[in-house]
A and B are shown apart, each in its own frame.
Chain A
Amino acid sequence: MASSIRVRATANGDITEVQALIQHPMDTGFVKDAKGELIPAHFIQELKFEYNGKDVFVADWGTAVSKDPYVKFSFKGAKKGDDLKVSWTDNKGASDTTTAKIS
């Protein structure tokens, strides 16, 4: 299966801009399905970006983050060609990880 994480990291001088798009239902637990039954909450709780073995950005999410979440941030000190590790875990214990090359 293709990774649920799409990430683009672009170094511009000392600053690396990171944009990530993750495929995830982010169910709130307030929405009913076609049969009128509540769809249980299912959402990413933690999304982590690591560079050089160090966290550069950690997101703690609740159910109010949109479906297929998007996030953008920037950090200092990385170079083109370096690796950026991205990982998430959701409230049901599922997780995914990918490593992106900084371009």
Chain B
Amino acid sequence: MHNPALATRRLILQGAASVALLGLGNLPFAAPARAAANDKYPEEAFKQKSEAEAIKALYGKNAEPSDKVKLDAPEIAENGGVVPISVTTTLDKVTSISFFVAENPNALAASYRIPDGTVASVANRLKMAKTTNVTAIVEANGKLYSATKEVKVTVGGCGG
């Protein structure tokens, strides 16, 4: 190097660049593991109380409401112990579908892994503690899309 001052400056710049790269590289690892995308039972997500925390633990990102997610649930459920809820979607490349009941003791109710070749549509029956919102989240092409519907519950499904 002919100019020591310049060389030092370059070194500093390189240093700064690698720090920035490291910072960016670390981000995905710092975010909670996306359990729905791998093969493990998402234990942590099921333990979370609120819907926001459960979504964060399961997917590590937020969902945007979409009219391509069709959530079918009754207006009024007479028995909160058995509420038939289903979801279908016209979205492509769906990898998982999850159901959340906002005011249950634990918001995440069920999460389904949808491999390639399986139709992006699920019907199941869930318990609801009281009148609250049910949200379905569809993971498609790495993004999250949601639909929410309020279900009125006459008799809660958590007993006690």
A interface vs B, CB < 8 Å?
A: 15, 26, 28, 30-32, 45-46, 54-67, 69-77
Tell me how many residues of B have a C-beta within 8 Å of chain A: 37
Residue B157 at the chain A interface, CB threshold 8 Å: yes
B104 part of interface (Cβ distance < 8 Å): yes
A-B pairs with beta carbons under 8 Å apart, 25 shown: A28-B127, A30-B105, A30-B160, A31-B160, A32-B159, A55-B113, A55-B115, A57-B113, A58-B112, A59-B112, A59-B113, A60-B36, A60-B41, A61-B109, A62-B46, A63-B127, A65-B109, A66-B125, A72-B86, A72-B122, A72-B124, A73-B118, A74-B118, A75-B119, A76-B117
State the B residues within 8 Å of A (CB). 35-36, 39, 41-42, 46, 81-83, 86, 101, 104-106, 108-115, 117-119, 121-128, 157-160
Question: How many angstroms from the CA of A66 to the CA of B77 in the assembled complex?
Answer: 13
CB pair B118–A66 under 8 Å, yes or no, is no
In the bound assembly, the distance between CA atoms of A73 and B123 in angstroms comes to: 7
Residues from chain A with Cβ under 8 Å of B119 in the complex: 15, 73-76
Chain A nearest CB from B111 CB (Å) reads: 4
Closest to B101 in A: A64
Distance in angstroms between the alpha carbons of A67 and B125 in the assembled complex: 9
* Residue pair A60, B124 in contact (C-beta under 8 Å): no
Contact A64 B111 (CB under 8 A): no
Q: Chain A nearest CB: distance from B73 CB in Å? A: 13
Q: Is the CB of B112 within 8 A of A65?
A: no
Task: Give the CA-CA distance A32 to B108 in the complex, in Å.
Answer: 22
Whether A57 contacts B159 by the Cβ 8 Å rule is: no
Partner of A28 from the list B82, B110, B113, B159 (CB cut-off 8 Å) is B159
A62→B110 contact, CB < 8 A = yes
Q: Which residues of B contact A54 (CB under 8 A)?
A: 115
